[in-house]
Structure 1
Amino acid sequence: MTEGTGWRERRIMVQGRPIFVRLGPEVPGSIPLVHVHGFAVSGSYLLPTARALAGRATTVVPDLPGYGRSAAWGHALGLPSLAWALLEVLDALGLDRVFLIGNSMGGPLSLEVAHSAPERVAGIVLASPAGGVHNQPLGRALLQLARDVRRERPRMIPVVLPDYLRFGPVNGLHLFSELVRFPSLERLLRTPVPTLAVLGTRDPLMPPPARVREVARLAPPHVTVVMIDGAAHAMNFSHPGELAHVIGCWLDGAEITDDPGQPGVARVLPIRRERT
């Protein structure tokens, strides 16, 4: 049983293989929130933010094929195959339309699903979306990843270390090299659905604030960009209150402000668009 009142665990079948899914309390009439994890790890580290949002909508936290407690597929699936598998998970759960909340690799996967099946996606949240020019070449991305490890909360280590060991270094390096080549910026600027991008100011895998502001000014009106001061890459684990508050404001169409429940912990830095 997943920790937390009303949470359930299920195994569903995708292409004849079992997929592990965590389900929050059902919220009738809501558009479900599906949390999508990063590379080489399971959905376990997403649970702090998922729990914080569980009262707002039915919440789903799957382990994608080959990750965490889901069955291995004999080889590490690439990003297009993982996006297809995510759609298969939605089908198996009977979810016609959802919000996708992706961290790291979960950002590109959410963008892939939104571009391929926009009628299935009410909107996407990209929390530290990896991939693109800032992470290239691979050697640069590996150094960024090493710097980020030192900036994450130490209590995340026992949560993700078993996942990394199970996934394996060879699979991890192969998938990470594919991830850094993913054109996240280009897909973001052409996203067909409402999109919220949330970046941390201490995340070495993300561009510096000046570049983020430049990108935000290029984005279409249905894209919102916000920065959380003090957050590193795995903000879903380290800053769940602030991230959940930002997502809640965005879902409500309200002004995005600092989380009143986390005063002094992290500041939200919304990107202002220039008036024309």
Structure 2
Amino acid sequence: MATRSSGSIAGRRHVRHTPRRPASGLAERWTTIDGVDIFYRESPEPPRDARAMMHLHGFGLSGRYLLPTAELLSTEFHTLVPDLPGFGRSGKAPHGLDVPDLAHAAVRFLDDRGIEMATLVGNSMGCPVILEFAAHHPERIDRAILVSPAGGMYNQPLRRAIGQLARDGGREPPRIVTVATPDYLRFGVPSTFRMFRALTQYPSRDRLLELQIPTLVVIGDRDPLMPGPARVKEVAAQTNSQLLLVTIEGAAHAINFSHPGELAHVIRLFMADQPIEDDPDSPGLPRAREIHRGRPRPPASNTGPEADA
């Protein structure tokens, strides 16, 4: 059953629907951020000294499709998977949100959980949200992990993006339909056009080049929404940040769902500053292209409520 961490039910316009069976092994909880009910999942009993790791979902979706990867990391990190305002089971803000608004909501969510610093793992739209977060609050991000970063000129105009999404749909596991379809229907057509415009206008490339924190970029070699690895490497090489680019062979756009074992393995190695190598027990083969390797930052401890327990 979902539990509530703060706020009052009285006066809420959003009706909460809690499934009888949890969708994962993570605890399902509610909180209220700036007057909006927020649904999230969290490690039920993270280790006391675990570093916080927040997973941010993509365009039109909820955090549900991120759970295969998040669950694999939930015993090693204080794992959080929120549905951002307007997405999934969370309530809608009084006005439509853009990328800066969603980044602000992510900051406020960490504030609500009492977490000062976290590693942020984003997929698709979640990556621009992380870049905006880092632009204004670099001291609050331990590391950035950008999986299939979306947005920008490569996904314009809308008809091109729709074609890319259609091709990607045929390359994802069929079971993702049962996860993604309810999320897209709940998100709605007006929100889709508004959010697409916000994404394509967001200066993702400039924000990426401004990053000054250890960053991992993971792309699939079958992802039609991303330019080829050579172009990604060319752009990434323009930054002086500590950046590592990894391509997972056989993966498309929703790597967190389709290749959770390999992605979780790559994330563990990155977090430990170890060379990237294959997980023989998982599908997909990672190919690392090191852009810049700086001095590793010391591990950050979770400063949330569990750290003081």
TM-score, normalised on structure 2? 0.84
The Cα shift of 1:143 comes to 1.7
The Cα shift of 1:91 comes to 0.6
The answer to whether structure 1 residue 171 and structure 2 residue 179 are counterparts is no
Q: What is the DSSP-based 3-state SS (H/G/I as helix, E as strand, rest coil) of the residue aligned with 2:32?
A: strand
In structure 1, the residue matched to 2:284 is: 266
- Greater CA deviation, 149-158 or 218-227? 218-227
The Cα shift of 1:198 comes to 0.3
In structure 1, the residue matched to 2:4 is: none
Over 3 Å counting, the alpha-carbon distance change for 1:75 and 1:134 in structure 2 is: same
Q: Indicate which of 248, 251, 259 corresponds to 2:271.
A: 251
The answer to whether structure 1 residue 92 and structure 2 residue 130 are counterparts is no
- For residues 76-155 of structure 1, the aligned pairs below 5 Å read 76-155=96-175
In structure 1, the residue matched to 2:36 is: 17
- Greater CA deviation, 210-219 or 110-119? 210-219
The Cα shift of 1:28 comes to 1.1
Identity value in percent:
48
The answer to whether structure 1 residue 229 and structure 2 residue 222 are counterparts is no
| 2-structure distance, mates of 1:157, 1:71 | 23
Q: What is the DSSP-based 3-state SS (H/G/I as helix, E as strand, rest coil) of the residue aligned with 1:101?
A: strand
Q: Give, as a single letter, the amino acid of the residue that structure 2 aligns with 1:186.
A: D
| 1-structure distance, mates of 2:116, 2:290 | 34
- For residues 32-43 of structure 1, the aligned pairs below 5 Å read 32-43=52-63
Q: Give, as a single letter, the amino acid of the residue that structure 1 aligns with 2:221.
A: T
In structure 2, the residue matched to 1:53 is: 73
CA root-mean-square deviation: 1.7
Aligned partners of 2:54 and 2:120 also within 8 Å:
yes
- Greater CA deviation, 21-30 or 266-275? 266-275
| 1-structure distance, mates of 2:264, 2:189 | 32
Q: Give, as a single letter, the amino acid of the residue that structure 1 aligns with 2:205.
A: L
Q: Give, as a single letter, the amino acid of the residue that structure 2 aligns with 1:152.
A: E
The Cα shift of 1:185 comes to 2.3
Q: What is the DSSP-based 3-state SS (H/G/I as helix, E as strand, rest coil) of the residue aligned with 2:162?
A: helix
Over 3 Å counting, the alpha-carbon distance change for 1:74 and 1:274 in structure 2 is: closer
1:31-57 deviation digits (Å, cap 9, x = unpaired): 211000011111000000001111211
Q: Which has the higher helix share?
A: 1
| 2-structure distance, mates of 1:205, 1:241 | 22
Aligned partners of 1:242 and 1:259 also within 8 Å:
yes
- Greater CA deviation, 213-222 or 171-180? 213-222
TM-score, normalised on structure 1? 0.93
Aligned partners of 1:148 and 1:232 also within 8 Å:
yes
The Cα shift of 1:180 comes to 2.3
Q: What is the DSSP-based 3-state SS (H/G/I as helix, E as strand, rest coil) of the residue aligned with 1:270?
A: strand
Aligned partners of 2:154 and 2:225 also within 8 Å:
yes
Q: Give, as a single letter, the amino acid of the residue that structure 2 aligns with 1:12.
A: T
The Cα shift of 1:82 comes to 0.7
- Structure 2 residues without counterparts, runs of 5 or longer: 2-21, 294-309
Q: Give, as a single letter, the amino acid of the residue that structure 1 aligns with 2:47.
A: V
Number of positions where the alignment pairs a residue of Structure 1 with one of Structure 2: 272
The Cα shift of 1:16 comes to 1.8
The Cα shift of 1:238 comes to 0.3
Q: What is the DSSP-based 3-state SS (H/G/I as helix, E as strand, rest coil) of the residue aligned with 1:154?
A: coil
Q: What is the DSSP-based 3-state SS (H/G/I as helix, E as strand, rest coil) of the residue aligned with 1:159?
A: helix
| 2-structure distance, mates of 1:72, 1:3 | 22
Q: Indicate which of 221, 224, 227 corresponds to 1:201.
A: 221
In structure 1, the residue matched to 2:238 is: 218
Larger radius of gyration between Structure 1 and Structure 2 = 2
